Structure 1
Amino acid sequence: MPLASHAADLPAQAHAPSPGRDFSRHRIVPARYPARTAGTVFAGLVIAAILHSVLSNPRWGWDVFAEWFLAEPVLVGLGRTLLLTAFGSVLGFLFGTLLALARVSGSPLLSGLAWGYVWLFRSIPLIVLLLILNNLGYLYDTVWLGVPFTGITLASWQTTQLITPFLAAVLGLTLNASAFSCEIVRGGILAVDQGQHEAAAALGLPRRRQVTRIVLPQAMRTILPTAFNEVISIAKGTSQVYILALPELFYTIQVIYRRNLEVIPLLMVATVWYLVILSVLSFVQRHVERYYARGALRNPPPSLIGTLLERWRGAGAPARSAVPAVPAPAVFSARSVLPVRNGGEIRITGVSKSFGTLKVLDEVGLTLRPGSVTAIIGQSGSGKSTLLRAINHLERVDAGFIAIDGELIGYRQDGDTLYELKEKDILARRVDVGMVFQSFNLFPHLTVIENLVEAPIAVRGLPRAQALAEARELLARVGLADKADAFPRQLSGGQQQRVAIARALALRPKVVLFDEPTSALDPELVGEVLDVIKELARSGTTLVIVTHEIGFAREVADQVVFMEGGRILEQGPPSRVLAAPDHPRTREFLAKVL
């Protein structure tokens, strides 16, 4: 029965609008949660019982606690504890970071050596390690600095004079902490998405810059919670250096209570000071984690330290006159962004690539003229994205060659001999090949403007002021001038993809590769990205676009390439390949997608 007939059968008062009622004078009774109330009462009783037991029992000796809490010997011991904690934490994590990088390196011997170090020093209890170091003079009379296996000695010391109890404590804490911190840092590095590594490599960033600027800052989100746990363990672990008769906090407390026999009050002095250290470290941890979590949330809550710093800066800074905001143009004009470089010629000759037994590219040959726009189409798994990544040498091919303007990708030619390039040389050549990824791969811990200027400064060597000016011009041309200081997570998918395109263009490449630039977007956002690519197609830069947008390929591309099973089955102008294809498999594919 239609919905209208149901409504007609209802009594008149059922569908007549009810008269307005005023609820402003009504009393509101909040919902009651008996279990929550019972839990609150129970917790209050437990806290009250503990406080009563501690404060009312004279055997706790709070007068003795007050006498010794700020006593000079205790403060001196506390200072030594803090010093040992600082040395053990800083040196341990510095050495641990180097060990972590060694463990993920491509050298099996270096990685194995780092693994052996971690295995050894995680196995030895700290107290045993301290005793071994303190008695090192029994094994070696001298410690020397020189060239191994040559007899050349630059400096020499008596071991018993060099290895003091304090130095033995610092070395023991450092060796122990570095073994654990190595695994903490390595876990953080492995947690960084592989797309971030590829995006940094595609921009041509040097390996050291990739690690320090892109990978480690993102790894810090994973590293910090366990790292601060390790620092707290080091702070508590300093109590074990009592075995060396080093008067840190715990050893000092032991000396005092052995003299006055007030054991519990003196142990409470140590306990409260350790609680203070833990509380300070926890406060620092919270705000350091907030710093490295930049870009992780769309609307992060305000930071207490950040708010205070902003107020302090605002109080000391002169008042600035308001500058009226100029709306950013929403239309991208590729020719007016930067001086346009001529597009490069891409020549692909006999390229093959396999993953295990699966052959993804099979004797692919293709020539793309300078300034052309090529759309590569085909079903998923046909080798389109692998071919695109091979052009940028993100995938090393098994056979064949790829050249841009006659310069081989991944090799240096010397007469009739080809020499495979080292990673740093490959990174340098990638500067001419921009890459826009399917999933954007923006650096989430950097703002939009920082994403754009990172590579021009590090790779092209542009002054920061010039790089910023060009980046702002690019953002204005893609309609995102007002998003320069936003983090990627605060942008929509279409905005992120436009930033990714601007980032690729910031290096002024000869060739720009697009790996399905609209597949990760909602249908409503596809248009704004395609409009940017259409305008870019008029700039003279060589574009290669892997896409499923057949209508877009028909409108923009100079030629269309159809791939199937790692082979190119058909190529030619859109008017022929898309309207009257020669190959039956092309006709079958288009019949399904059009």
Structure 2
Amino acid sequence: MALTTDFAGIDPGSRTAGSKDYSRYRIVPARHPGRLAGTIFAAVVIIAVLYSIFTNPRWGWGVFAEWFFAEPVLVGLGRTLLLTVLAAISGSILGTALALARVSKSPLLSGLSWGYIWLLRSIPVIVLLLILNNLGYLYETIKIGIPFTDTVFLDYPTVQLLTPFAAAFLGLTLNQSAFFAEIVRGGILSVDHGQLEAAAALGLPRRRQAFRIVLPQAMRSILPTGFNELIGLAKSTSMVYVLALPELFYTVQVIYRRNLEVIPLPVLETATDTVRKIGFRDAATLRAAGGAVRIHGISKSFGSLKVLDDVELSLPAGSVTAILGPSGSGKSTLLRAINHLERVDEGFISVDGDFVGYSRKGDTLYELKEKDILKRRADIGMVFQSFNLFPHLTVLENLIEAPIQVRGVGREDAVQLAQELLARIGLSDKINAYPRQLSGGQQQRVAIARALALRPKVLLFDEPTSALDPELVGEVLDVIKELARTGTTLVIVTHEVGFAREVADTVVFMDGGRILEAGPPARIFAQAEHPRTREFLAKVL
């Protein structure tokens, strides 16, 4: 297939043959009046609030300034921060141990951990602190020795051992560990079970599996919630006032009782709390009218890395194009640029003469707003390498969501179309299944059906078989082969050279962000002109 750089809708007489002149186009950035109005409204609210606060003498800023750096307040703040840090460290360590016990295969150990977590999460912190503060009434002394004998190594009065600070530290630790244990357990369960199997296959000890393989990966889930819990812990330290421990809140209350200033000292508490926060932070069913794709001189960079470099390509309506190339050659970025998931730095892309991401008036291109881009994107379907099905929706719900919400199709018609598509790909019996109940090949076929439900002009495939087991590749490729006969324009990034040779009308080879060669499969695979193409094919054929 011959390549062309013609742009549909552009007067060919305005350019010389073979030129790439698009300098006459002037791009006008999209305007967002709603965004501007929101900014102005937010600025007015902020100014009004600040003016009200700083000009009202009843806020008592003089008193606030007098006491903010007073020694008792700074000492109380230091004690609060110390309690927060110590309880966070000890609670995290104990919580991690409880989480590991919770997922243990020992029913007794797991049950003990569950009971501890349930009990400590049920008791309010203030109640727990009061119990610990009065522990000397329940147990006068703390003894360490050999059980059921008279041998005692340590015998110490409880009230002397459990000082207010120790009671506060212990209470916050016990409370924090129960909540942190569930956070860690959730993170552990979020790690793919295959990771454990891989570690076990390597013969790694269970301890190594837990601390080297599972927990580091679980941190992606643990850290965000864990930091929120630390902020809550910093706030919870104010409850230790019941122990008469002179931390920040207790100190502020004592000062308040002396000067009877109502507002300034709660403001002080809020300000120092902010300091703590800153510290943590049927073929007819599938048939569609394909669209002609024109890619004209596009370039794209990520920082200093240029991933697309002056790419030119013309894909006729109903064609099937396979894009080959080594990893990092820009294949996936080019695919994402076609449906505007990646915005290019230079150049233009059109489908049936309509510019992707822009509206045209004469020689001026107006950047579209996101809602308009979404409407046009419905004509350019995409099937992802990792399926990206919505896990909380059934197969049917995955297929009918976009036709109803984007195309405005009635639910009855959308359901009928979904049933027909599932019948064509052999998955009618999975209509009410969830993605997690499907194999990889089945998920990819559903992803293809979901894209087809919008009846797109162009359908993009980003390495559709790379995430599949070899025995599942064939069932997905068979569906794509059938699609190639429906009239939809297909653009496929793939490493399946045999498939590309059999199905594609045009094979494109990319390297270093440029198209080095393009043409019919027979010529590319048998008589490639570019040495880099021949080198690549020699390794994969």
Shift in alpha-carbon separation, 1:237–1:14, aligned structure 2, 3 A: closer
Could you list the per-position Cα deviations for residues 230-276 of structure 1 after superposition, in whole angstroms to 9, with x for gaps in the alignment?
11111100000001110001111111111011231111111111101
Aligned-partner Cα distance in 1 for 2:265–2:59? 10
Shift in alpha-carbon separation, 1:202–1:139, aligned structure 2, 3 A: same
Aligned-partner Cα distance in 1 for 2:201–2:71? 59
- After the TM superposition, which residues 44-443 of structure 1 pair with which residues of structure 2 at under 5 Å, given as runs? 44-282=43-281
Aligned-partner Cα distance in 1 for 2:31–2:302? 32
Aligned-partner Cα distance in 2 for 1:127–1:188? 28
Shift in alpha-carbon separation, 1:18–1:103, aligned structure 2, 3 A: same
Aligned-partner Cα distance in 1 for 2:203–2:193? 16
Could you list the per-position Cα deviations for residues 348-397 of structure 1 after superposition, in whole angstroms to 9, with x for gaps in the alignment?
xxxxxxxxxxxxxxxxxxxxxxxxxxxxxxxxxxxxxxxxxxxxxxxxxx
- After the TM superposition, which residues 475-486 of structure 1 pair with which residues of structure 2 at under 5 Å, given as runs? none
State percent identity of aligned pairs.
63
- The answer for the alignment partner of 1:43 in structure 2 is 42
Could you list the per-position Cα deviations for residues 171-230 of structure 1 after superposition, in whole angstroms to 9, with x for gaps in the alignment?
110110111011000000000001100111111111111111110000011001111111
Aligned-partner Cα distance in 2 for 1:519–1:144? 68
Do the aligned partners of 1:68 and 1:74 also contact (CA within 8 Å) in 2? yes
Deviation at 1:88, TM superposition (A): 1.0
Deviation at 1:23, TM superposition (A): 9.0
Deviation at 1:151, TM superposition (A): 4.0
Aligned-partner Cα distance in 1 for 2:161–2:182? 30
Could you list the per-position Cα deviations for residues 508-542 of structure 1 after superposition, in whole angstroms to 9, with x for gaps in the alignment?
xxxxxxx8599699862689xxxxxxxxxxxxxxx
| Code of the aligned partner of 1:35 | G
Shift in alpha-carbon separation, 1:526–1:175, aligned structure 2, 3 A: farther
Deviation at 1:21, TM superposition (A): 12
SS in 2 for 1:45: helix
Do the aligned partners of 2:120 and 2:174 also contact (CA within 8 Å) in 1? yes
Do the aligned partners of 1:494 and 1:526 also contact (CA within 8 Å) in 2? no
Do the aligned partners of 1:103 and 1:114 also contact (CA within 8 Å) in 2? yes
Structure 1: give runs of 5+ residues left out of the alignment: 1-6, 283-298, 303-437, 440-491, 498-514, 528-594
- The answer for the alignment partner of 1:465 in structure 2 is none
Aligned-partner Cα distance in 2 for 1:50–1:269? 18
Aligned-partner Cα distance in 2 for 1:301–1:198? 38
Deviation at 1:33, TM superposition (A): 1.7
SS in 1 for 2:152: strand
- After the TM superposition, which residues 493-508 of structure 1 pair with which residues of structure 2 at under 5 Å, given as runs? none
Aligned-partner Cα distance in 1 for 2:179–2:303? 32
SS in 1 for 2:142: strand
Shift in alpha-carbon separation, 1:64–1:17, aligned structure 2, 3 A: same
| Code of the aligned partner of 1:89 | A
Aligned-partner Cα distance in 1 for 2:191–2:11? 60
Shift in alpha-carbon separation, 1:38–1:279, aligned structure 2, 3 A: same
Aligned-partner Cα distance in 2 for 1:525–1:198? 28
Shift in alpha-carbon separation, 1:207–1:276, aligned structure 2, 3 A: same
Deviation at 1:31, TM superposition (A): 2.8
| Code of the aligned partner of 1:204 | G
Aligned-partner Cα distance in 1 for 2:116–2:54? 49
Shift in alpha-carbon separation, 1:136–1:96, aligned structure 2, 3 A: same
Aligned-partner Cα distance in 2 for 1:262–1:268? 11
Do the aligned partners of 2:183 and 2:226 also contact (CA within 8 Å) in 1? yes
SS in 2 for 1:263: coil
TM-score (norm. length: structure 1): 0.46
Do the aligned partners of 2:77 and 2:248 also contact (CA within 8 Å) in 1? yes
Shift in alpha-carbon separation, 1:300–1:280, aligned structure 2, 3 A: farther
Do the aligned partners of 2:252 and 2:265 also contact (CA within 8 Å) in 1? yes
Could you list the per-position Cα deviations for residues 64-94 of structure 1 after superposition, in whole angstroms to 9, with x for gaps in the alignment?
1111111111110001001110111111111
Do the aligned partners of 2:231 and 2:277 also contact (CA within 8 Å) in 1? yes
SS in 1 for 2:143: strand
Could you list the per-position Cα deviations for residues 2-45 of structure 1 after superposition, in whole angstroms to 9, with x for gaps in the alignment?
xxxxx9xx9xx965344799998998754322211111111111
Shift in alpha-carbon separation, 1:78–1:35, aligned structure 2, 3 A: same
SS in 2 for 1:222: helix
| Code of the aligned partner of 2:65 | A
Deviation at 1:149, TM superposition (A): 3.3
Could you list the per-position Cα deviations for residues 486-518 of structure 1 after superposition, in whole angstroms to 9, with x for gaps in the alignment?
xxxxxx999999xxxxxxxxxxxxxxxxx8599
Do the aligned partners of 2:15 and 2:21 also contact (CA within 8 Å) in 1? no
TM-score (norm. length: structure 2): 0.50
Deviation at 1:147, TM superposition (A): 2.9
Q: 1:16 aligns with which of 2, 13, 17?
A: 13
Deviation at 1:60, TM superposition (A): 0.9
| Code of the aligned partner of 1:138 | Y
SS in 2 for 1:524: coil
SS in 1 for 2:226: helix
SS in 1 for 2:280: helix
- The answer for the alignment partner of 2:495 in structure 1 is 524
Larger relative contact order (CA 8 Å, sep ≥ 6): 2
| Code of the aligned partner of 2:174 | L
Could you list the per-position Cα deviations for residues 152-182 of structure 1 after superposition, in whole angstroms to 9, with x for gaps in the alignment?
3221110111111101101110110111011
SS in 1 for 2:153: strand
Shift in alpha-carbon separation, 1:249–1:493, aligned structure 2, 3 A: farther
Do the aligned partners of 1:518 and 1:526 also contact (CA within 8 Å) in 2? no
Aligned-partner Cα distance in 2 for 1:301–1:242? 53
| Code of the aligned partner of 1:524 | H
Deviation at 1:148, TM superposition (A): 2.9
